[in-house]
Amino acid sequence: MTLELLQENLTNPALLFFALGIVAVYLKSDLEIPANSSKFISLYLLFAIGFKGGQELSHEEIDGEVIGSIVLGVAISVLIPLYTFFVLKRKLNVHDAGAIAAAYGSVSAVTFVTAVTYLESQQYIFHGHMVATMALMESPAIIMGLLLISLFDKQRSAGVKKRDVIKHSFTNGSVLLILGSLLIGYFANAKQAEGIKPFTNDLFKGFLAIFLLDMGITSGRKLKSFFAYGSFPLLFAIFVPLFNGCLVALISAPFIHDISNRFILAILAASASYIAVPAAMKISAPKADPGLYLPMALAVTFPINITIGMPLYLMVAQWTG
């Protein structure tokens, strides 16, 4: 069963487009997605998943399962940066350790979107409240990373206003769009939602494939400088997310009974932010090297999650179910 899931993931067109982007960089091709188009597609993906999640949420009853998923998700986004920071600080400076810890405690919306598509392909029902869970997991990790840097940096930068960064983490465009779309989808009735269904549903997988092609190109470019840091960041970016995902899929069983919810929580725990966190860390931790934490999240953890991770987390969630 696991080999079949892995094989299906490896032949997924979205993943293959990601690989094509990396290959294009190493072949020195001029293949490139225009920046404005890439930004539009990323906004579209957030809008579509938020709106569909809101529609799903409008049909759900707010019960212990929903509350438990949200509470556990927020707790995860606080605890992961806390423990990973001390692991990272053994090998890296405080600024890099804090930025990476924030990235791995926060979430990747694109990994989430890919996981939702994968979940539905396995005939599981996606529950809309997990969109809210994902959106609420982004800011706590950024704030925790900031606090850890502030506490352990003996030469604090006087010009950095921490309140501005904390405000940014709550008003970040990706968080605002997905939460806003979730609310709009929640309040829209079925007839109104049907009017934009061709846009939110039918075009979704095609836009996802093009976006992942762009992510592959970006990853390929960042990989060149990443290997200068030795093997530690690479090993961390591979094994820590797999550990986090499997652990959450396992320990969430007593609190969350639905297999699909546990799978989504696992993929959120395993994912790493490469949009919101870099934007926040550019302001709050200018000494942290984006050539380190960005390739870790985007070029290593992201493909690991969508190839090995997703079938592995689903298997653990099924086993504990």
- The confidence score (pLDDT) of residue 158 equals 43
The residue type found at 264 is: I
Query: Under 8 Å CB-to-CB from 44, ≥6 apart: which residues?
Result: 207
- What is the pLDDT averaged over residues 223-238? 85
- Residue 272: the pLDDT is 94
**CA–CA separation, 76 and 73 (whole Å):** 5
Q: Please report where in the chains the tokens 């609310």 appear, as a residue.
A: 183
Q: Tokens 């709550």 identify what position?
A: 170
The answer to whether residue 234 scores a pLDDT higher than 50 is: yes
Output the pTM of the full model.
0.75
Instruction: Please state which of the ranges 158-167, 182-191, 209-218, 301-310 shows the lowest mean pLDDT.
Output: 158-167
Q: Which CATH class is domain 2-26+33-320?
A: mainly alpha
Mean pLDDT score, 275-285: 71
According to the model, what pLDDT value does residue 102 have?
A: 93
The domain ranges of the chain are 2-26+33-320
Q: Which residue has the higher pLDDT, 270 or 197?
A: 270
| Rounded CA separation 145/75 (Å) | 14
Compute the Cα dihedral for 59, 62, 63, 65 and give only its sign: positive
pLDDT at residue 154 tops 50: yes
* Nearest CA among 173, 174, 200, 211 for reference residue 34: 211
Task: State which H helix or E strand residue 206 sits in.
Answer: helix 204-226
Q: Region 245-274: what's the mean pLDDT? A: 93
